[in-house]
Structure 1
Amino acid sequence: MKIAILGSGVIGVTSAWYLAEAGHEVVVIDRQNGPALETSFANAGEISPGYASPWAAPGIPMKALRWLTMKHAPLILRLHADPAMLRWLFAMLGNCNARDYAINKSRMVRLAEFSRDCLIALRQDTGIAYDERMQGTLQLFREQKQLDGIGKDIEVLKADGIPFEVLDKAGCIGAEPGLAASAAPISGGLRLPNDETGDCFKFTNALAAMAANNGVRFLNGTSIHRLVEESGRISHVETDQGKLMADAFLVAMGSFSPQLVAPLGIRLPVYPVKGYSLTVPIVDEPRAPVSTLLDESYKVAITRLGDRIRIGGMAEISGYSRDLSPARRATLEHSAATLFPGAGDMAQGSFWCGLRPMTPDSTPVIGATKVPNLFLNTGHGTLGWTMACGSAHVIADIIAGRKAAIETADLAISRY
């Protein structure tokens, strides 16, 4: 079968790999000049199945109001007359209850755990390298009330059989020795020893190169205009380089997926939530993180990537704006500098932002659509890197009509 994949971020490229491995003829189309040059370019670098949790949770609306007043706010909301934004916000608020949280969390953990297993197998089979580390993730609490509030998360971890450690300040420093230089308050932490880290950009490009060697064609620098439907099926995709025909089409265009499928009568509830990152060179090795630390107060992840530190996080709901706000950079610098002072050269940092494709229930949309040969693999939000391999494995099975290794019915767009 000839399959056209629209989008060459980490989701599109991993999908291409698994589909090619299954024996399909695969072509990947993207407007950028290479893979992973948009949202996959400089994300936080964490692969954290254990922290796969919905943004929509009980108590979030009240927390959000408080966050909006903070100097170093983890949430920034810039409302404007965008019906898609308002629909998404109302739908997300509708998921902020215990019942929906439990359902959505279960879906996310199922996929994230499977994805980690797929990544491990891929790494063993191919030897792919991407500044990977397997030293766990530490969620750090600056305030005692944060530590006291982790009971619900621990119950979920226990129910899912995910190993964890609750640490005091000394335990946090034991896991991340660079914290010994910090003057910031540290009440404790929650550590997930099975989590991993790695450079998503390096991974995606390395996998794309291997996929190309296996026959996958990459049409870089090619803008996608529209999908053309004939006799109830997609006949071809129109691009600025002409039309391309295929037997099946997979949309993996992140936040830009809804606009592509809307003319087909498909309402895809994915909306961009901007995240920021700062990548700095390490200048004092003993003060640097050894893996990923999640700063719960500012919702910032601080990750070791080789000889660099990637500081990423925050959620800005402002449409498709890619403006780089100095205030957001200040928040990233504040989080990292107070926990790992002197570890990296902030002045030499590379500041970046990306548009995370979020669904109202935080679960990606993976599966078939009402158009028989059109499929979706999008809406992963902050967890595209964590869920990429599992999502690609699943969609390859779905397209081939095989039974997937995990339950997939509740991942499809039909759940809406």
Structure 2
Amino acid sequence: MKIVVLGAGVIGVTSAYCLARAGHEVVVLDRQPGPALETSFANAGEVSPGYSSPWAAPGVPLKALKWLFMKHAPLVLHPTMDTGTLRWMAAMLANCTAARYAVNKGRMVRIAQYSRDCLIALREETGIAYDARMQGTLQVFRSRKQLDAIGKDIEVLAADGVPFEVLDRAGCVAVEPGLAAAADHILGGLRLPTDETGDCFKFTGALATLAEELGVVFRYNTDIRRLKVEAGRIAGVATATGEVTADAYVAALGSYAPALLAPLGLNLPVCPVKGYSLTVPIVDTSTAPVSTVMDETYKVAITRLGDRIRVGGLAEIAGFDLSLPPARHATLERSARDLFGAAGDWEKAQFWTGLRPMTPDGTPVIGPTRYANLFLNGGHGTLGWTMSCGSAQVLADLMSGRRPAIASEDLGIARYG
């Protein structure tokens, strides 16, 4: 079967690779000159199945109100939001119950755990290199209230069989010695020892090369205009350079997928949530992070990527704005320097932003639509890198008529009605 994949970020490229492995003829279209040049370019670098949690959680509405008045807030809301964004926020608030949180987190952990297994298998089979480390994630808490609130997460982790460790201050320093100078700022932590890290941009580029060796054709610098429909099926993709046709189509366009799908009557509730990162050269390895440290106060991830530190986080609902406000740079730097101040050359930090495609329940949308030959793989939010390999394999199985290794019935767009 000939399949066109729309999008060459980490989700599109992993989808293309898995589909090619399944024996399909695959063409990938993307407007950029190469793979992973938008949201996948400089993300936080985490492959964190255990930290896969929906943003919609009990207590978040109250926290969000407090964040509005913080100088270094993890969430920024712009007053000029459109009606679509307001509807998305209302749907997210509706998921901020204990019952919905447990369901959503369980789904996310299911995908993420499977995805990590798929990534391990891919690494063993191909030897793909991307500054990978397999030394876990440490979430650090600066207040007793934060530490006392981890009970609901521990319950879900235990139920799903995800290994974890609750650490005191000394335990945090033992696994991340670079925190020694900042130990007085930390009360404790939650460690997920099976989590990994790696450079998503390097991974996606390397996997695109492997996909090409399997016969995948990448058509970059191709502006996707619309999907053509005939007799209840997708008949082709209209691009700036002509029409592209296939037997089946996959929309893996992240935050840009809803606009493409809306004319077809498909309401994909994905909101672009702006995130930021700093990439900092390491000058003192003894004080640098070993793996990933999550600063719960600022919602910032500080990750070791080879000879660099990647500082990623924040959430800004600002539509498709890609500006780089100095205030966001200051928040990321404040968190990282507070914990690992001597480790990096902060004057040489590279500042970046990208749009995370977020669903209101946190779970990505993977699977078929009411158009028999149109499939979706998107809405992964902050976890595209974490969930990419597993999501792609589930998609490839569904499109190939095979039963996926994990339950997928609740992952499709049909769950939104």
Corresponding residue for 1:156? 156
String of CA shifts for 1:52-105, please: whole Å, max 9, x gaps. Answer: 111111111001111111111000001325121111011101111111111111
- 1:87 maps to what in 2? 87
Asked if the contact 2:173/2:183 (under 8 Å) is kept, the reply is no
Q: Is the 1:184–1:339 contact (alpha carbons within 8 Å) kept by the matching residues of 2?
A: no
Structure 2's unaligned 5+ residue stretches are none
Match of 2:340 in 1: 340
> Once structures 1 and 2 are overlaid, which stretch shifts more, 147-156 or 259-268?
147-156
AA paired with 1:270? V
Q: Where does residue 135 of structure 1 map in the other structure?
A: 135
Letter in 1 for 2:248: A
Q: Determine the C-alpha separation between the residues in 2 that align with 1:97 and 1:148.
A: 18
**Could you tell me which residue of structure 1 aligns to residue 413 of structure 2?**
413
Which aligned pairs between 1:221-260 and structure 2 lie closer than 5 A? 221-260=221-260
* Normalised TM-score (structure 2): 0.99
Structure 2 residue aligned with 1:375: 375
Distance 2:226 2:145 in 1: 50
Per the alignment, residue 54 of structure 2 pairs with 54
Deviations 1:242-272 (A, max 9, x none): 1101000000000000000111110110010
Deviation, structure 1 residue 398: 0.9
Query: Cα deviation per residue 1:344-367 (whole Å; 9 max; x = unaligned)?
Result: 011101100000000000100000
1: distance between equivalents of 2:187 and 2:36?
37
CA distance in 1, matches of 2:244, 2:158: 49
For the residues of structure 2 that align with 1:144 and 1:98, how far apart are their CA atoms? Answer: 21
Residue 278 of structure 1 contacts residue 352 of structure 1 at CA under 8 Å; is this kept in 2?
yes
CA contact (8 A) 1:67 1:74 kept: yes
Give the secondary-structure state (helix, strand or coil) at the position aligned to 2:185: coil
The separation in 2 between residues aligned to 1:148 and 1:414, in whole angstroms, is: 36
C-alpha distance in structure 2 between counterparts of 1:150 and 1:271, whole Å: 27
Does the residue aligned with 2:402 lie in a helix, a strand or coil? coil
Count how many residue pairs are aligned between Structure 1 and Structure 2: 416
Is the contact between residue 312 and residue 332 of structure 2 (CA under 8 Å) also seen in structure 1? yes
Is the CA contact (8 Å cut-off) linking 2:81 and 2:318 kept in structure 1? no
Partner of 1:31: 31
CA distance in 2, matches of 1:105, 1:191: 17
Match in the other structure for 2:194 = 194
**1:182, CA displacement in angstroms?**
2.1
In the alignment, the residues of structure 1 paired with residue 68 and residue 409 of structure 2 have an alpha-carbon distance, to the nearest angstrom, of 36
- Superposition deviation, residue 11 in structure 1: 0.1
CA distance in 1 between counterparts of 2:67 and 2:96 reads 16
8 Å Cα contact 2:233/2:372 also seen in 1: yes
1:360 counterpart residue number: 360
Query: How far, CA to CA, are the matches of 2:183 and 2:52 in structure 1?
Result: 30
The residue type paired with residue 163 of structure 1 is P
Deviation at 1:184, TM superposition (A): 5.0
Q: Contact 1:289/1:340 (CA < 8 Å) preserved in 2?
A: yes
Say if 1:363 and 1:411, in contact at 8 Å, map to a contact too: yes
Q: Residue 398 in 1 paired to residue 407 in 2?
A: no
Q: Which sections of structure 1, spanning at least 5 residues, go unmatched?
A: none
**Amino acid corresponding to residue 132 of structure 2 in structure 1:** E
- The residue that corresponds to 2:106 in the other structure is 106
Query: Whole-Å Cα distance in 2 between the matches of residues 63 and 184 of structure 1?
Result: 24
Query: Percent identity at matched positions?
Result: 69
2:12 partner SS: helix
Partner of 2:278: 278
- Any conservation in 2 of the 1:302–1:336 contact (CA below 8 Å)? yes
Give 1:78's aligned residue: 78
Counterpart of 1:139, as a letter, is Q
1:347 partner SS: helix
TM-score by structure 1 length?
Answer: 0.99
Supply the distance in 1 between the matched residues of 2:58 and 2:144 (Cα, whole angstroms): 20
1:179 counterpart letter in structure 2: L
1:197 partner letter: T
Question: Aligned partners of 1:212, 1:98: CA distance in 2, in Å?
Answer: 45
SS class of match (1:49): coil
Number of the residue aligned with 1:216 = 216
Q: Is the 8 A contact 1:293 1:303 kept in 2?
A: yes
Structure 2 CA distance, aligned partners of 1:183 and 1:237?
55
Distance 1:42 1:415 in 2: 31
**Kept in 2: contact 1:280–1:346 (CA 8 A):** yes
Contact 2:270 2:359 in 1 (8 A): yes
Q: How many angstroms apart in 2 are the aligned matches of 1:225 and 1:373?
A: 18
Compared CA separation, residues 238 and 96, structure 1 to 2 (3 A): same
Distance 1:393 1:188 in 2: 37
Q: Matches of 2:368 and 2:148 in 1, distance apart?
A: 42
C-alpha separation in 2, matches of 1:21 and 1:154: 37
Inter-partner Cα distance in structure 2 for 1:181 and 1:271: 39
Q: How far apart in 2 are the matches of 1:280 and 1:349?
A: 5
State the one-letter code of the partner of 2:91.
Answer: A
- 1:156 to partner: Cα distance: 1.3
Q: Could you list the per-position Cα deviations for residues 20-71 of structure 1 after superposition, in whole angstroms to 9, with x for gaps in the alignment?
A: 0000000000000000000000000001100111111111100111111111
**For the Cα contact (< 8 Å) 2:81–2:319, is it kept in 1?**
no
CA-to-aligned-CA distance 1:159-195 (integer Å, 9 cap, x gap) = 1111111111111111100111226511011101000
SS in 1 for 2:222: coil
Alpha-carbon contact 1:282-1:344 (below 8 Å) kept: yes
Q: Is the 8 A contact 1:233 1:372 kept in 2?
A: yes
Question: CA-atom RMSD, angstroms?
Answer: 0.8
Alpha-carbon distance in 1 for matches of 2:397, 2:45: 27
Structure 1 counterpart of 2:53, one-letter code: S
Deviation at 1:146, TM superposition (A): 1.1
**Separation in 2, partners of 1:293, 1:307:** 16
2:166 aligned counterpart, secondary structure: strand
Measured after TM superposition, the shift of residue 341 of structure 1 is 1.3
C-alpha distance in 1, partners of 2:163/2:63? 28
| Distance in structure 2 (CA, Å) of the matches to 1:149 and 1:251 | 37
Aligned residue type for 2:163: P
Question: Aligned with 1:256: secondary structure?
Answer: helix
Contact 2:19 2:396 in 1 (8 A): yes
